[in-house]
Amino acid sequence: GQSLEQPSEVTAVEGAIVQINCTYQTSGFYGLSWYQQHDGGAPTFLSYNALDGLEETGRFSSFLSRSDSYGYLLLQELQMKDSASYFCAVRDGASGAGSYQLTFGKGTKLSVIP
C-alpha cells in the first residue's frame, strides 16, 4: 500500500521561511503534489513534481528526490494568510494502468505568528 509521513504541526513567524517535509512509500510512483487547505475550505493545488529537483512558483517552491522517496514544500516570506493545512499527495498507478490515484498525507497544520 501507500503511506506518507509529514509533520502534524509547524509554527513559523511572519516574514520567515518554513519547510514542510514529506516522505512516502508507494509503488508505481508518478509524482508528488502539494495542496493547501484553509479551515472549512477546499483543498487548492499548489505544485506538482514528477522529476527530481526544485519547482518554484512565486513564494512557494517544491522539491522532490525520487531516490530518497522524499519531498518538501518551501514557503518564503510567510504571510498570515499562509496559516492553513498543507497536504502532500502521491500520484501512483498502484491500482492499475491508467489509474492515477492520488493518496494524501494527513496534513501539516501551519500556524504563522506575528
Contact positions toward another protein, by CB under 8 A? 31, 33, 35, 41-45, 48, 50, 87, 89, 91, 95, 98-107
Residue 17 or 25: the one with the smaller Cβ distance to another protein is 25
Amino acid in position 14: E
Three-state DSSP class for residue 34? strand
Residue 59 or 106: the one with the smaller Cβ distance to another protein is 106
CB of 15 to another protein, least distance (A): 28
CA dihedral sign, ordered 92, 95, 96, 99: negative
